[in-house]
Structure 1
Amino acid sequence: MASNHGVEHRDLLAHVLLPVANEEDARGTARMLAPYDPDHVTALHVIEKGEGVPDKTPVEQSEAIAAEAFTAVHEIFPDAAEHTAYSRDIVKAIFAAADEIGASAIAYRSRGSGRLLQFLSGDLSLKLVTQAEYPVIALPQEDTET
């Protein structure tokens, strides 16, 4: 087995950062994480904030979406912490939140999208897994046959 090159051993599921986009995404992502029984979960919602350009949605509306997402996570993980970040760069905000809370890993569920959307968005999933300084856990898509 390969050496960890000086990386301290830590439990991947000790404190999982769970980025969520909206209520439906939060519920599905939390449901897919639940079987792995993490010790602690912090749900993260990134509100895309202008930085000199118009916001996609009003901040108040985005904060309401975040609150709904957190409520959905609490259905699965009642003790989950909540973290909201405001940034134009979603991936950078995820990494900053992971640093801030001392995450052991970042768990996410790919939201799936066409190649054009991936190209235009810079493929957030690709950036998340290739630029992270934290272990990234890609959760399976939810089974739609239930």
Structure 2
Amino acid sequence: MSSDSEAGGRDLLDHVLLPVANEGDAAATATGLEPYGPDRVTALHVVEKGEGVPDKTPVEQSEELAAEAYAAVRSVFPDADEHTAYDRHVAEAIFEAADDVDATAIAFHSRGGSRLLQFLSGDITLQLVTKADIPVIALPDEDSDE
């Protein structure tokens, strides 16, 4: 199912960056990726930081959410690495993390939501699939008929 990427001849699934928001999202995303058998996985949690405004959640609480998410990923991929980013712009943080860890692809599970919610949040999914420098894998819903 995988193929060599153009850059450096590396396999698409050599090192997959897996952005996760919380424990439930992490479990669903890791489970969705598992059948594809990536060689290496790095789970990423982005702590959204405000610039000149209060943070959405206290840093300690965000780091606790990250730890729970990493544990959920490790229940599927025991050797998964972890990477925490602190940024106001989630998509940009994902792209920077992909560079930092030398990922060959970004895999994500769409979190859905209303069009209004997507508009207000900047539609991270749209940014991921239109602005990434590496392949982006949109994992199917657990309920979908593959």
Map residues 41-80 of structure 1 onto 2, 5 A cutoff.
41-80=41-80
| Matching residue's letter, 1:133 | D
| Matching residue's letter, 2:21 | A
Mind listing any 5+ residue stretches in structure 2 that lack a counterpart?
1-5
Map of 2:3 onto structure 1: none
1:53 Cα deviation from its structure 2 partner: 1.2
CA offsets 1:74-93 (integer angstroms, 9 cap, x no match): 00000000000000000000
CA offsets 1:78-131 (integer angstroms, 9 cap, x no match): 000000000000000000000000000000010001010011111110001000
Map residues 104-115 of structure 1 onto 2, 5 A cutoff.
104-115=104-115
Moved over 4 A (4+): none
Q: Secondary structure of the residue that 1:143 maps to in structure 2? A: coil
Map of 2:122 onto structure 1: 122
Give the alignment's Cα RMSD to 1 decimal: 1.4
Map of 2:31 onto structure 1: 31
Map of 2:22 onto structure 1: 22
1:7 Cα deviation from its structure 2 partner: 3.9
TM superposition score normalised by structure 2 = 0.92
Map of 2:134 onto structure 1: 134
For these two proteins, the number of residue pairs brought into alignment is: 140
| Matching residue's letter, 2:133 | E
Map of 1:3 onto structure 2: none
Q: Secondary structure of the residue that 2:27 maps to in structure 1? A: helix
1:50 Cα deviation from its structure 2 partner: 1.7
Following the alignment from structure 1 to structure 2, what is the Cα–Cα distance between the partners of residues 45 and 122? Answer: 18
| Matching residue's letter, 1:53 | V
1:143 Cα deviation from its structure 2 partner: 2.2
Q: Secondary structure of the residue that 1:76 maps to in structure 2? A: coil
1:142 Cα deviation from its structure 2 partner: 1.5
Following the alignment from structure 1 to structure 2, what is the Cα–Cα distance between the partners of residues 47 and 124? Answer: 14
1:33 Cα deviation from its structure 2 partner: 0.1
TM superposition score normalised by structure 1 = 0.92
Q: Secondary structure of the residue that 1:42 maps to in structure 2? A: strand
Instruction: Say if 2:95 is the partner of 1:95.
Output: yes
